[in-house]
Structure 1
Amino acid sequence: MVTTRLAESTDHDDAVAVWRAANTARGRPPEATRVDRVRAKLGEPDAIVIVAVASGRVRGMLLAEPGRDRDGRGPRVAGLCHISMVFVHPGWQGRGVGRLLLERLRTHVAALGGTRLQVWTGADNDRARRLYRRAGFAPSGRVASLGPTRPIEQFTLDL
C-alpha cells in the first residue's frame, strides 16, 4: 500500500535519492551541482514537498512552490502553485504513485486557498503528459524550450 504525506526535513535525502534514480534510469544522471541545487530547493521555506511511502520507504516525491509571474522570474501570483518536479522510483513507476502525489498536492493547495496548479514537462515526455492528463490537467497552449532541442509544454489545473 502506498501512502502520501507532506515530507519532513528527514525525508529530503530519500526524496533526492528517488529523483536521482528516476533521472539515471531515463539516461540523464544528474551532476553533483544539480543534486545540491535540488537538495537546497527541497529545504526552502515555501517549498511544498510531498512523498509517497510504501513498505517504510520513499517511493515517490513531488516538489511544488508558489507560482510566479513571467515564468518564475516575477512576483508571486495569488492562488497559483507551480509544480517543479514529480518523480517516482523506477521500480514503482506505472503503479499510480505519481497520481497519488498529485492528488495530495491538489488537496493541500486547495486547503490553503490555492486556485490553480501549473507544471511544465518535456513535449516528448509521454509518460508525464499522460500522468498530468489523467490527473485532470490540460495543456494551456503554452510551449517553450530548454535549449534548441528540448521543447516543453505547460499543463494547468483549476482547483
Structure 2
Amino acid sequence: MPRTLITPIADEESRRLAVGVWEAARRASGNRPSPARTERVATKVATGVELGEVALLAHYGERAAGMLVAEPFQGDDGPDDSCGHLSMVFVDPALWGCGVAGALVRSLQRGDHGPGWTRLSVWTRETNRRAQRLYLARGFTDTGERATLHEGEVICRWEWRAGG
C-alpha cells in the first residue's frame, strides 16, 4: 500500500494538481464544474495561503490524490483564532476509500502545516454519507445546526475539539 504524503500547496504545480483533484471529484459526484467555477476554485487555492488559510495536497504514492483548504473560523462575533473551518476536502475518485481524506484531516488536526487550531468546523450536505463517515472517524460531532443551500439541499455543521 502506498504511503500518503501531505504537503502545503505552495507553487503553481501543486495548485494545478489540487484543482485537478477537485475537478475529478466534482465530476464523479455528478456536478460537472463550469469553467467559471473552476477558475474561482483555482483562485481560492492560489490566494488562500496569503489570507491565512491552510491549503494541503495529498500524494498517494507518486499520484496527486487529495486536497484540503481550511480558513480561520468566522463566528457571529467575528474571527475565532482557536478554530479553523474546512472549506474544501476533495479526493481523486479513483482513490476513494484509501484513507486520503482522513490523512488530510488528521494532518490539519495535528497542526502539521498550519496554525494548530484546537477546534475545527465543517459544513457538509446532509446526504453526503461518505463525508459524514470521514468526520465521525476523525472525532467530529454533528452540532445539530442546519442550513439550506440556494438549490434546496440541507447542509449540516460538524465540529471537532482537540482532546474531545
Instruction: State TM-score, norm by structure 1.
Output: 0.91
Instruction: Please state whether the residue corresponding to 1:21 is helix, strand or coil.
Output: helix
Structure 2 CA distance, aligned partners of 1:99 and 1:93? 11
Instruction: Please state whether the residue corresponding to 1:51 is helix, strand or coil.
Output: strand
Consecutive aligned runs of 4 or more in structure 1 exceeding 3 Å deviation: none
The aligned counterpart of 1:6 is: 8
- Output one character per residue of 1:38-65: Cα deviation in whole Å (capped at 9) or x when no partner: 1111122122111110232211000111
The aligned counterpart of 1:121 is: 124
Percent identical pairs in the alignment equals 33
Q: Check if 1:59 corresponds to 2:65.
A: yes
Kindly tell me: are residues 113 and 21 of structure 1, through their superposed partners in 2, closer, same or farther at Cα, counting changes over 3 Å?
Answer: closer
What is the root-mean-square deviation in Å for CA atoms of aligned residues? 1.7
Alpha-carbon shift at residue 111 of structure 1 (Å): 6.8
Aligned length: 156
The aligned counterpart of 2:153 is: 150
CA contact (8 A) 1:63 1:84 kept: yes
Which AA in structure 1 matches 2:145?
A: R
Which AA in structure 2 matches 1:57?
A: R
Q: Check if 1:138 corresponds to 2:141.
A: yes
CA contact (8 A) 1:121 1:128 kept: yes
Range with greater deviation from structure 2 (106-115 or 2-11):
106-115
Instruction: Please state whether the residue corresponding to 1:78 is helix, strand or coil.
Output: strand
Q: Residues 77-88 of structure 1: matches in 2 within 5 Å?
A: 77-88=80-91
The aligned counterpart of 2:43 is: 40
Gaps of 5+ in 1: none
Q: Check if 1:69 corresponds to 2:72.
A: no
Structure 2 CA distance, aligned partners of 1:4 and 1:95? 14
